[in-house]
Chain A
Amino acid sequence: GGIITQTPKFLIGQEGQKLTLKCQQNFNHDTMYWYRQDSGKGLRLIYYSITENDLQKGDLSEGYDASREKKSSFSLTVTSAQKNEMAVFLCASSTDSGNTLYFGEGSRLIVV
């Protein structure tokens, strides 16, 4: 079996600050995703990547950057943190889209 590791588990930053979340997977999966989870709004896709150095925008990409430095890692940057962005950010991976997603434990963003 494999594992997806998200760091940090909690990220506290100030309004306007640039903040980065990291995700590593050892499934050797091709596709990786970043989702944002807000209460009552389900899981909304921010960015995904189908291979190393690939980047595809999701429905919620504005205000975020992402980077797929290598197959096993995918990072997400909040370019200017806002208080309404406090949410849980979930990283996931799959062999390709339409197959099972394996999620990380989540990173909670707190903006003060």
Chain B
Amino acid sequence: GEQVEQLPSILRVQEGSSASINCSYEDSASNYFPWYKQEPGENPKLIIDIRSNMERKQIQELIVLLDKKAKRFSLHITDTQPGDSAMYFCAACPSSFSKLVFGQGTSLSVVP
């Protein structure tokens, strides 16, 4: 089945700089790639997603890139703020009816 690798597991950046999280997947049939943010003590919430018919998507300071050939996708947070500090999970969904497979998570800390 699908497996998703997510790196780095811990990321610390200066406020105002960019943060990047990278994920890779194995199943070339996967066609849906969401990103979830989990703040301390809260449940994970969807922040942005991309489908396989796109290579790039941006919502405000969030940019996701998808490279289907390399089976990689990434989340870039530009102009990071302390409120961006959280756990971030990537996921992939194979094309046949199946379930989302999550990466291991990245703990992002934005320091002043």
Instruction: Scan residues 39-55 of chain B and give those whose CB is less than 8 A from a CB of chain A.
Output: 42-46, 49
* Interface contact A58-B99, CB-CB below 8 Å: yes
Main secondary structure of the interface of B (DSSP, over half): loop
User: How many chain-A residues does the 8 Å CB contact rule pick out?
Assistant: 23
Residue in contact with A50 in the complex, picked from B1, B46, B97, B104, CB distance below 8 Å: B97
Q: A33-B99, A42-B89, A59-B1 are in contact. Are A100 and B46 (CB under 8 A)?
A: yes
Residues of A within 8 A of B100 (CB): 45, 97-98, 101
* B-chain residues with CB within 8 Å of residue A105 when the two chains form the complex: 42-43
Q: Are A40 and B104 also in contact (CB < 8 A) when A100-B34, A104-B43 are? A: yes
List B54-112 residues whose CB lies under 8 Å from chain A.
89, 93, 97-105
What's the interface size class on B, roughly? Answer: 20 to 34
Known A-B contacts: A42-B6, A105-B42. Give 8 more (CB < 8 A).
A40-B9, A41-B104, A45-B100, A50-B97, A97-B100, A98-B98, A100-B34, A104-B43
**Chain A interface (Cβ within 8 Å of chain B)?**
33, 35, 40-45, 48, 50, 56, 58-59, 90, 96-98, 100-101, 103-106
